[in-house]
Amino acid sequence: MDIEKNSAQFTDPLITATGEPRASVQLRALDTLWFNTGTLCNLACESCYIESSPVKDRLSYTSLTEVQTFLDKVQQSNYGTQQLEIIISMLSSLIPMLVRSSI
C-alpha cells in the first residue's frame, strides 16, 4: 500500500487524489437527524448495535455546542426534518447539558 498516495486521498473535498472530480449527492431531504454521544456506557448489552460497554470508548463525544449547531442548521433549512433521535451513552456528559437546555 502506498501510504503517501493514501494520505492525500481526502485532502480536497471536491477533487480525488488522482485529480478527478469527486462524486457527490445533493442533500434534498433530512427526515431524521441522529446524534450518537459515544460508546462508553455503564451497560454492555448484547443487542447494542455499536457494542457500547464500560470499557469501549472508541467514538468521539458530541458537545452541546455541536448539537446546537446542527439543530440550528436544520431549523434554518427546508429539508423537512420530522424526527430527532439522540442515542445517549449512559456515561455521557451531554445528559445534564441537554436537560438544562430543554428547561
3-state secondary structure the chain: CCHHHHHCCCCCCCECCCCCECCCCCCCCCCEEEEECCCECCCCCCCCCCCCECCCCCCCCCCHHHHHHHHHHHHHCCCCCCEEEEECCCCCCHHHHHHHHHC
- 63 within some domain: yes
Does residue 97 fall inside a structural domain?
yes
Q: Is the pTM of this model over 0.75?
A: no
Structural domain containing residue 72: 29-102
In-domain check, residue 48: yes
Q: Tell me if 70 is assigned to some domain.
A: yes
Query: Does 42 reside within a domain?
Result: yes
Q: Is residue 53 part of a domain?
A: yes
Query: Would residue 89 count as lying in a domain?
Result: yes
| Residue 19 resides in a domain | no
Q: For residue range 61-87, what is the model confidence (pLDDT) as tens digits? A: 777 788 889 888 888 988 888 888 877
- 90 pLDDT band, cuts 50/70/90, is low
Predicted local distance difference test score (pLDDT) of residue 1: 44
- Average pLDDT over every residue of 4-32: 81
C-alpha cell at 34: 441522529
Domain count, the chain: 1
What confidence tens digit (pLDDT) does each residue in 24-64 have?
888 889 999 888 777 778 888 888 877 888 887 776 677 77
Closest by CA position to 64, among listed 44, 28, 35, 90: 35
Look at residue 38 in the predicted model and tell me its pLDDT. 73
